[in-house]
């Protein structure tokens, strides 16, 4: 029988689950509220009217729901610690995409339906009507500008487009989502039927957006600046770890109060270099101390490649920490750490920072030719009883996480062959998205409960 650890880990898991439940309930209450405003404004009645009434009614509803989801979208982008701890960045990114695309589709539907309604149901008249609405109705020009910015964000979020962009450029373009949402707000309050007839609804909407805007300013702007000033993080050394892989050693003041845990990542802006305004997400590769941090970077993009040019003494602006690949998510005494390539960085930090006795932690490391942190893992194995399983070579196929030499065995059988008591462990995984998905499929086939799976994919 799996041993559940009788410690704060279980309390954290329950607290995070309660937070997730409360946030989902708040989302549904928000959607019910805007649906009530629509219904109270004659929305249901108008569905039984003329074509123009139906178009106007459904356009109003799609606009209200789309705007509510846009508010949620901005909240998800605010990096609020309570939400970060409850979900972790991987899950938030997935939710962010679903909410974002749904909100965008509803807003586009709102524009099309309302314009069609104002054109008295005549499709041929809609282009001219849209032009008239844009120039002559309050807030519409701002709304159009905001919508175009949201189009830019959504277009660059499509997978095919993301592959053509550097992470730094994509991240910078994504910030226009804040401006797009802000420009759309006045139109809702100046022309929206639900708000014009209900001052209380207007105040509620203003208060909701003001609260979310304040959270964005606090956690995306003020907090990073305050941390940078307070902790004075600087580069101390850049050390090669292997072909194309570098570790950056950093120092600072009272870094134990930065709040970062082994397994987490921060976004880094190395001041004094070209492109310093663009943030790069890098995980810690060693457990943090009061005076030192270490990140490990693979040189495969402009931001990460420029790390080689860093010099001792360069100041660093940090934002975070982020991610739930930490002891906070832990529910079992035993753990299994599974990583590939530079995905070993956060697992190396976890192997050092987690609490475990000899035999309670196993680490499976996939690599092609060169192992990362081989000597450090050997020391952890000797000092703490970490069981390290090297898995060298190329994968046996695109849909598999294991290498060649396991013919006749499924991915799940190979996993259980190395970790026979898998279902008694929390499993922490970090690697490329496709590889991580293959490990997850194998773990599910092996019977691992969902709550014992913790991943951090380093794709974007």
Q: For residue range 373-384, what is the model confidence (pLDDT) as tens digits?
A: 999 999 999 999
Mean pLDDT of all residues in 190-210: 73
pLDDT at 360 (0 to 100): 94
Please write the tens of the pLDDT for every residue from 95-123. 888 888 898 888 888 888 888 887 887 87
DSSP string computed for 190-224: HH-HHHHT-HHHHHHHHHHHHHHHHHHHIIIIIHH
pLDDT at 387 (0 to 100): 95
pLDDT at 323 (0 to 100): 86
Query: What's the rounded Cα separation, in Å, for the pair 296 and 91?
Result: 23
Q: How many residues does the chain have?
A: 460
Nearest to 237 by CA among 352, 314, 346: 314
Q: How far is CA 378 from the centre of its chain?
A: 33
Looking at domain 232-322, its CATH architecture is Beta Barrel (2.40)
More confident residue, 92 or 178: 92
Place 218 in a pLDDT band, splitting at 50, 70 and 90: very high
Query: What's the rounded Cα separation, in Å, for the pair 101 and 347?
Result: 33
Query: What's the rounded Cα separation, in Å, for the pair 177 and 188?
Result: 17
pLDDT at 5 (0 to 100): 42
More confident residue, 453 or 243: 453
pLDDT at 32 (0 to 100): 94
Helices then strands (H, E): number in the chain?
18, 11
Ordered by start, the domain boundaries in the chain are: 8-197, 232-322, 327-457
Instruction: State yes or no: pLDDT of 2 exceeds 50.
Output: no
pLDDT at 275 (0 to 100): 67
Mean pLDDT of all residues in 233-246: 90
Query: What's the rounded Cα separation, in Å, for the pair 135 and 300?
Result: 47
Phi and psi dihedrals of 231, rounded to 5? Answer: -95, -15
Mean pLDDT of all residues in 329-354: 92
pTM of the model: 0.79
pLDDT at 174 (0 to 100): 65
Please write the tens of the pLDDT for every residue from 345-380. 999 999 999 999 998 999 999 888 788 899 999 999
pLDDT at 280 (0 to 100): 83
Assigned token pair, 260: 């970062």
Count of CB atoms within 10 A of residue 43's CB?
21
Place 197 in a pLDDT band, splitting at 50, 70 and 90: low
Place 158 in a pLDDT band, splitting at 50, 70 and 90: low
Mean pLDDT of all residues in 163-180: 62
Instruction: State yes or no: pLDDT of 460 exceeds 60.
Output: no
**Looking at 163-172, 334-343, 440-449, which range is the least confident one?**
163-172
Instruction: State yes or no: pLDDT of 80 exceeds 50.
Output: yes
Helical residues (DSSP H) of 78-125, grouped into ranges: 81-87, 89-118
CB contact burial 167-190 (16+ within 10 A = b; e otherwise): bbebbebbebbbebbbbbbbbbbb
pLDDT at 63 (0 to 100): 86
CB 166 within 8 A of CB 303: yes
pLDDT at 302 (0 to 100): 53
Does 321 sit behind a cis peptide bond, omega within 30 degrees of 0 on the bond before it?
yes
Helical residues (DSSP H) of 282-432, grouped into ranges: 302-305, 344-353, 374-384, 411-418
| Mean residue pLDDT across the chain | 83
Place 6 in a pLDDT band, splitting at 50, 70 and 90: very low
More confident residue, 72 or 146: 72
Whether domain 327-457 has CATH 3.40.50.80: the reply is: yes
CA dihedral angle for residue 155, residue 159, residue 160, residue 163, rounded to 10 degrees: 110
CB 387 within 8 A of CB 362: yes
Place 1 in a pLDDT band, splitting at 50, 70 and 90: very low
Query: What's the rounded Cα separation, in Å, for the pair 173 and 408?
Result: 47
pLDDT at 159 (0 to 100): 63
pLDDT at 59 (0 to 100): 87
């Amino acid at each position: 029988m799996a041993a559940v650890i009788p410690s704060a880990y279980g309390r954290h898991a329950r607290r995070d689950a309660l937070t997730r439940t409360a946030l989902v309930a708040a989302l549904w209450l928000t959607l019910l509220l805007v649906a009530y405003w629509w219904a109270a404004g004659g929305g249901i009645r108008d569905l039984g009217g003329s074509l123009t009434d139906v178009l106007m009614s459904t356009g109003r509803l799609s606009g209200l729901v789309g705007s509510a989801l846009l508010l949620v979208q901005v909240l998800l982008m605010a990096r609020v610690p309570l939400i970060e701890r409850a979900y972790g960045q991987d899950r938030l990114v997935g939710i962010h995409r679903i909410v974002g695309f749904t909100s965008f589709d509803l807003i586009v539907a709102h524009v099309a339906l309302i314009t069609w309604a104002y054109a008295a149901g005549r499709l041929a008249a809609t282009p001219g009507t849209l032009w008239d609405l844009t120039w002559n109705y309050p807030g519409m020009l701002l709304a159009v500008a905001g919508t175009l910015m949201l189009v830019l964000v959504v277009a660059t979020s499509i997978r095919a487009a993301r592959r053509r962009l550097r992470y730094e450029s994509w991240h910078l373009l994504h910030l226009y989502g804040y401006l797009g949402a802000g420009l759309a707000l006045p139109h809702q309050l100046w022309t929206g039927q639900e708000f014009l007839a209900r001052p209380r609804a207007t105040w509620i909407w203003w208060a909701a957006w003001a609260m979310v805007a304040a959270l964005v300013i606090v956690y995306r702007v003020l907090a990073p600046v305050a941390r940078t000033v307070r902790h004075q993080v600087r580069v101390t050394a850049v050390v090669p770890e292997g072909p194309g892989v570098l570790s950056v050693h950093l120092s600072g003041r009272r870094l134990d109060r930065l709040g970062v845990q082994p397994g987490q990542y921060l976004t880094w802006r190395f001041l004094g270099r070209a492109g310093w305004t663009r943030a790069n997400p890098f995980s810690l590769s060693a457990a943090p101390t009061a005076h030192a941090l270490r990140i490990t970077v693979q040189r495969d993009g402009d931001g990460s490649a420029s790390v080689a040019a860093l010099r001792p003494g360069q100041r660093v602006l940090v934002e975070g920490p982020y991610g739930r690949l930490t002891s906070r998510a832990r529910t079992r005494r035993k753990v299994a750490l599974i990583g590939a390539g530079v995905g070993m960085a956060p697992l190396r930090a976890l192997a050092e920072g987690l609490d475990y006795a000899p035999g309670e932690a196993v680490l499976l490391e996939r690599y092609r030719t060169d192992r990362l942190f081989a000597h450090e893992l050997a020391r952890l194995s000797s000092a703490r009883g970490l069981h390290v399983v090297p898995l060298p070579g190329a994968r046996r196929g695109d849909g598999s996480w294991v290498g060649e030499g396991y013919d006749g065995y499924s991915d799940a059988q190979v996993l259980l062959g190395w970790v026979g008591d898998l279902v008694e462990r929390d499993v922490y995984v970090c690697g490329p998205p496709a590889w991580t998905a293959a490990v997850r499929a194998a773990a599910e086939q092996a019977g691992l409960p969902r709550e014992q799976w913790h991943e951090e994919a380093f794709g974007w």
